[in-house]
Structure 1
Amino acid sequence: METTPASPRRRWSLIGPGLVAAATGVGAGDLVATLVAGSRFGYALLWAAIVGAIVKVALAEGVGRWTLSTGRTMFDGWSSLPGGAGRLNWATLYFAIYVVIWGFVYGATAMTASALPLAALIPGADIKLIGMASGLIGLGLVWFGGYGLFEKVMAGLVGVMFVTVVGLALIVAPDVPRLFTGLWPTLPEGSGFYTLGLIGGVGGTITMAAYGYWLNAKGWRGPEWMGTMRIDNRVAYAVTALFVIAMLVVGAELLFAAGVALQSGDRGLLDLGEVLADRFGRGVATLFLIGFWAAGFTSLIGVWQGVGLLFADFWAHMTGRAGEEAVRGQKSPAARAYMLWLTFPPMALLFLERPFALIVAYGVLGSLFMPFLAGTLIWLLNSPRTPPEWRNGWVSNLLLGAAALLFAVLAEREILGLL
């Protein structure tokens, strides 16, 4: 654990919490959404992927700046907002309801996403059993291991994703001149919702709020770590943007020209595995499925660890013990109780043969947190709660305001789709 600020040269060697947050936010379903965008519109929406990365940098930087400049967590900030009675206000009540419902749905989704590629690699394997085993392995990792081990495992899995996803983009040989044409913002007919999804969906979940907790776990405390945090954050989301661009390349080169359609959701990546096996051989398809698994499992363990910390902080505030580190840490009873909530009750949902309601519920719930995070960051970072020198400038306000508006539109889309 680092306890003193790094020199400018050493900052590059300390990158970690941002990579954890970014990798947790890039799930298998996000990769499918990017593939579908590439398969339908070629490179036309490349600019949207880059804008999405910039939006995520602004959100994560806001979380990090709040944490380092004030020495307080995101939940400290939410609990300081007005409008409520006792220890509950509108923000903490929203979080409490959201985190319980979302955790139940997400647990099943994450276990399924981790199981699908393994089931494809093991003929006759039962997706339900592999999903439950994935949940238990993830639980064991965050239950018994500390942050250091967790970060190393995440970095290793990101390395696997990098080799497979970026390697696949190189194998399909991108048309570089045509790729650069996608940098100019255009909206092909019928691309509106895909554009919004590409900007807002990749790399953005409730775990963005956990970034500050991972900074503290790393030992970065105080404004003197601001420069290190900003490098960490920008490099992490640059890697995320590279993943998105690579999958857009695959969609454009492998699927767009051939007119291949993918299934929606995580199963679309299994379709791509079959296309790869036909085009490049079973070895390439196998490596891709391993990368697919890494994307799913990073999201699983990132949520088990990061949202567990958020819930523990919530519980510490509700019980009047917010100042006690043992009550709000990774090994606290509340954090472990939430990890169990993510693991065992959702296993019942794995036995649904066609979990349409589960998929719809996850889409709606996932869209409802990011407007909350962006909006509360604008409030906190423009208020006297933040030291004057670290409050928002006009660029930060513009980016966070755009993020709040974007995610609100995405949430409206999901809710209208449900109705």
Structure 2
Amino acid sequence: MKAWFKNIGPGPLVAAAFIGPGTVTVCTLAGVGFGYALLWAMLFSVFATIVLQEMSARLGVITQKGLSEVIRTEIKNPVLKTIVIVLMLSAIVVGNAAYEAGNISGGVLGLETLFGNPSVEIGVFDVNVFSLIIGLVAFLILTIGNYKTLERILVAMVMVMSVAFLVTAILTKPNLIEIFKGLFGFKMPKESVLTVVGLIGTTVVPYNLFLHAALVKEKWRAESDLKHARKDTIVAVVLGGVVSMCIIISASAIQTKTISNAADLALGLEPLFGSFSKYFMAIGLFSAGITSAITAPLAAAYVASGCLGWSTNLKSKTFKGVWLFVLVLGVVFSSLGIKSIELIKFAQVANGLLLPVVAVFLIWVMNKSELLGKYKNSLLQNIVGIVILLVAIFLGLKSVLKVFNVL
């Protein structure tokens, strides 16, 4: 057990990043709207995440570089390089600022479920106190600037979050046969395409591919460590997938169809299963919000530093400047009453459009022999990666057509 804990790496941070309030909200809507029918979409998402994150981790361990750094050095055409860097910076940094507001708001929802809605008036603005508190906690944790300490804090919070959502799902006394049908039935009920895209979009997060490659080199430096990185990735992503499925299962137990967000899930479970569900859901929401509130600015800092050739040292002033910028924007947007659900949706659209682009660059980089040698992608890894890419593009196009009422 001691050896197992010693080899825990950035996997839990990746899991913490994708189980944010956006995932909680989308999984809630999936469960309330379609019961167990869309569990297969989460199963696919977990598989896709493992495949892509393994590539990212392998790149980080073998090259000792982050994905954005590799893309910057490997693209030789100056015009193409500029376009790609601008695209990555705008999508990841700006997109993460929007996500950050949603993450902080998600943590606030958890606290408000337990303590009400305290706010103070500052001029014409009505500022939420909990947003400021969560922003301050995230700031203090990031300011520590020590990877090992950051890792331990997030591992602990992921464990708390996992237990909270798991217990909530068990309290609903789910039908195991129906769960099995949902996992392997591959049904897409009418009007479910946007929800399916949402489930994939909140799990296969583009900025995680950058974050993972950057963090593994903080933990492992030798080729022999690749096995630890792979195990760490698989265990963490599967755990994250189970937590997401537990949220869908919990939401499936609610009879009313008026649930519109994660806060309603906590309140919706209370009449059915007593106050315990409310408390577990509140703890889960708070943990989901604050862990993602830490990882989103961190990912943005790694991407910006890699793109611009800055130091990726956690104590670097430029590195701190980027995550502080994203964190402050998130606190401002979330504390001024801007709807977190709309912010999360905006960020998911940005990520949905960015995922195929990032995946193409990742697969391209993973086939460069001069960079990875014998650790480049095998034929099977390329086939699986391309299939995942095509499915993401197909569902993305389908959802766009749906939005514009073409489909």
The TM-score, its normalising length taken from structure 1, stands at 0.86
Q: CA deviation at 1:353?
A: 4.9
Per the TM alignment, residue 55 of structure 1 is displaced from its structure 2 partner at its CA by 0.1
Q: 2:302 aligns with which of 306, 309, 319?
A: 309
User: Structure 1: which amino acid aligns with 2:257?
Assistant: V
> For the Cα contact (< 8 Å) 2:194–2:399, is it kept in 1?
no
Counterpart amino acid of residue 232 in structure 1: D
Match of 2:181 in 1: 181
- The amino acid that maps onto 1:128 is N
* Contact persistence 2:19–2:244 (CA under 8 A): no
Instruction: Give secondary structure in 1 for the equivalent of 2:288.
Output: helix
Structure 1 residue 282 corresponds to structure 2 residue 267: no
Any conservation in 1 of the 2:22–2:202 contact (CA below 8 Å)?
no
Deviation sequence 1:36-88 (CA, Å, 0-9, x none): 21222222222221111010001100101112222332123211343642894
Deviations 1:227-276 (A, max 9, x none): 11110010011101211221121122x12xx243311xxxx121111122
In 2 relative to 1, CA 117–335 (structure 1 residues): closer, same or farther, beyond 3 Å? same
Deviation of 1:357 (Å):
6.2
The equivalent residue for 2:258 is 261
Give the C-alpha shift of residue 24 in structure 1: 1.0
Quick one: which of 311, 317, 320 aligns to 1:333? Answer: 317
| Contact 2:165/2:280, CA 8 A, preserved across alignment | no
Secondary structure of 2:101 counterpart: helix
Which residue does 1:46 correspond to in 2? 39
CA distance in 2, matches of 1:269, 1:394: 41
Note closer, same or farther for the CA distance 1:379–1:272 as it changes in structure 2 (3 Å cut).
same
Range with greater deviation from structure 2 (142-151 or 10-19): 10-19
Cα distance change on mapping 1:369 and 1:11 into 2, 3 Å: farther
Note the 1:136-215 alignment, pairs <5 A. 136-182=136-182, 183-202=184-203, 204-215=205-216
Q: Alignment partner of 2:369: what SS?
A: coil
Alignment of 1:9-408 (within 5 A): 10=3, 13-82=6-75, 84-85=77-78, 88-126=81-119, 128-182=128-182, 183-202=184-203, 204-218=205-219, 220-252=220-252, 254-255=253-254, 258-263=255-260, 268-315=261-308, 317=309, 327-350=311-334, 351-354=336-339, 358-408=343-393
Q: CA RMSD in A?
A: 2.6
Distance change in 2, residues 1:418/1:136 (3 Å): farther
Q: SS state of the match for residue 173, structure 1?
A: coil
Counterpart amino acid of 1:387?
Answer: L
- Match for 1:18: what amino acid? G
1:12·1:232 contact (CA, 8 Å) conserved in 2?
Answer: no
Q: Within 2, Cα distance between the matches of 1:288 and 1:360?
A: 22
Kept after mapping to 1: 8 A contact 2:24/2:247: yes
- 1:31·1:244 contact (CA, 8 Å) conserved in 2? yes
Query: 2:363 touches 2:382 (CA, 8 Å); kept in 1?
Result: yes
| TM-score, normalization by structure 2 | 0.88
Q: Is the 8 A contact 1:311 1:338 kept in 2?
A: yes
Structure 1 residue 9: Cα displacement? 9.7
Alpha-carbon distance in 1 for matches of 2:339, 2:89:
29
Give the Cα separation in 2 of the matches to 1:20 and 1:353: 27
Q: Any idea what the Cα deviations from partners look like across 1:209-239, whole Å, max 9, x if unmatched?
A: 1112211222x01321111111001001110
* Deviation of the 1:171 alpha carbon: 0.9
SS of residue matched to 2:128: helix
Amino acid at match of 1:217: E
- CA shift, 1:118, in A, is 1.1
Letter of the aligned partner of 2:358 in structure 1?
A: L
CA distance in structure 1 between the partners assigned to 2:402 and 2:333 by the alignment: 22
Q: Is the 8 A contact 2:113 2:278 kept in 1?
A: no
Equivalent-residue separation in structure 1 for 2:142 and 2:3 (angstroms): 28
Kept in 2: contact 1:27–1:299 (CA 8 A)? yes
Unaligned stretches of 5+ residues in structure 2: 120-126
- 1:106 and 1:342 in contact (8 A); partners too: no
Give the distance between the partners of 1:148 and 1:71, measured in 2 at CA: 18
Aligned-pair CA distance for 1:334: 1.2
SS in 2 for 1:187: coil
Q: Distance in 1 between matches of 2:2 and 2:77?
A: 47
Unaligned 5+ runs, structure 1: 1-7
The alpha carbon displacement at 1:415 in A equals 5.8
How far 1:107 sits from its partner (Å)?
3.0
- In structure 1, distance between residues paired with 2:338 and 2:85: 35
* CA gap 1:217/1:104 in 2 versus in 1, 3 angstroms: same
Q: How many residues align?
A: 395
Q: Structure 2 CA distance, aligned partners of 1:143 and 1:85?
A: 35
**Which residue identity is paired with 1:383?**
K
Q: SS where residue 245 of structure 1 aligns? A: helix
Of stretches 300-309 and 47-56 in structure 1, the one that deviates more from structure 2 is 300-309
Report the 3-state secondary structure (helix = DSSP H, G, I; strand = E; otherwise coil) of the residue aligned with 1:386.
Answer: helix
Shift of 1:310: 2.8
Percent sequence identity over aligned pairs: 21
